[in-house]
Amino acid sequence: LIALALSFWCKGAFWDDVKVAALMLYLVAFGSGLSGVPWVMNSEIYPLPLRSAAVGQATVACWVFNFFVGRYFLSICEHMGTGGAFSIF
């Protein structure tokens, strides 16, 4: 993500390739590693009587934060640039 954020401040065809490669590398690394961990951990750490309510609340929190990222990403891009938005999120 650091390479992706820094590449948005640099100009040129080389940096365009760096943007694509860094984003693809991040998606592969996150998708094959940490993307499923919160869902698996949430289903295992709570006691059985509270599990459904706790997992429901965690799911709602996830969707609320996803909404905020989607809602404010373009506003942050306008004020801080795309590299700044990737640095924050």
pLDDT tens per residue, range 25-54 = 988 988 887 788 878 888 888 899 999 999
pTM: 0.59
Which range of 6-10, 23-27, 67-71, 78-82 scores highest in mean pLDDT? It is 67-71
**In this structure, are residues 82 and 7 in contact, taking their beta carbons and an 8 Å threshold?**
no
Between 82 and 57, the more confident residue is: 57
Residue 10: pLDDT over 90: no
